Amino acid sequence: MPEALTVNLAERSYRIAFGRDLTSEVRAQAESLRAAGRAIAVVTDRTVAAKQEAALQTMFGSAPRWEAPSGEGAKSLSELERLLEFLAQKRLDRSSALFAVGGGVVGDLCGFAAASYLRGIDYYQVPTTLLAMVDSSVGGKTGVNLRAGKNLAGAFHQPRGVFISTGLLDTLPTREFAAGAAEVIKSALIADAGLFASLETTPLSPGGPGLDGAIRRCCSIKAAVVEADERELSAEGGRALLNLGHTFGHAIEQAAGYGRYLHGEAVAIGLCAAARLSQKLGRLTGPDMARVEAAVAAHALPVRLREPLALADLLGAMARDKKVRGGHPRFIVLGPIGFAAVAGVDPDLATACFKEAGAL
């Protein structure tokens, strides 16, 4: 049996399995559903379909398959509608289940479709990117982007299982791997100073030392946070802490145009901005702020904007962030490394951090 941990959510609990190759475990799950008279369908994207055709056939055989375009642009209402119409055309019923095979876009889109179709059906996550393995496949946050902002339409809908095959990362493009490392750094910053120190000394690489352990640790951090605050309702931080760097990062994604920065690249810039904000608030020392920037750079990620973005566009996007309360954005701040908190922040400080990141 592969290594595993459980996300404990009463009747919504589920298992995260870890291994080099979990093809046989996914196939067994699909066959078990079919044996129980339950139809399945596979949701993936065109890049994964092209690169993993043999694995898809092994896992799912002739099961109906729907493919999204590759990239952040697929995380849209129009693609959600196309997917829902596909499920209806294939006559899936309430006993049916979906398998999301891909990165964060596929997982979020499939999960939202599963939450919406017939008012909710089961789905399973088979993440193929580092970012999806350590973050988006766990926790049940699903959704799509709107013109107004990132992830503004969605639902909390927990998967029934997650299968993390680390061998899939061997063929992941270098830029995509680095983007996933941003979420590993984030998890370390909010909850594990020891993991952060290891990332400083030994940056992650496909198949490299520490990768499997880092993935499992990130999943355990997220599982614990989700168990304590599944729907992000805590007044003291809770699940909101997982958004360290994301208030800045989501604004960058929208202002630049979705796809110009990978999600993890925008988050990386956001992590550095959040570290600078934390220093301005007196919560993080100057040397620790420099450590954050150095760790981000060591993973081939940007610490500032590649080219200037309009400050007005960034601030406008930030004002529409999901974490806004009473018209005011909330930020996740550090202090010290390994600990985080939610803070109300003077807008001028956030503006200064954007300027230091290269906004004009």
Active site positions, annotated:
119, 141, 183, 222, 232, 239, 243, 246, 250, 263
Closest CA to 273 of 301, 238, 298, 312: 301
Closest CA to 121 of 150, 90, 145: 90
Distance CA 347, CA 328 (A): 8
What is the torsional sign of CA 358, 313, 249, 84?
negative
Amino acid at 103: G
Distance CA 274, CA 267 (A): 10
Closest CA to 277 of 240, 233, 313, 246: 246
Strands (DSSP E) found in 136-185: 141-146, 149-156, 161-165
Please state the length of the chain: 360
Distance CA 101, CA 67 (A): 10
Closest CA to 215 of 187, 237, 240: 187
Is the separation of the CB atoms in 191 and 337 below 8 Å? no
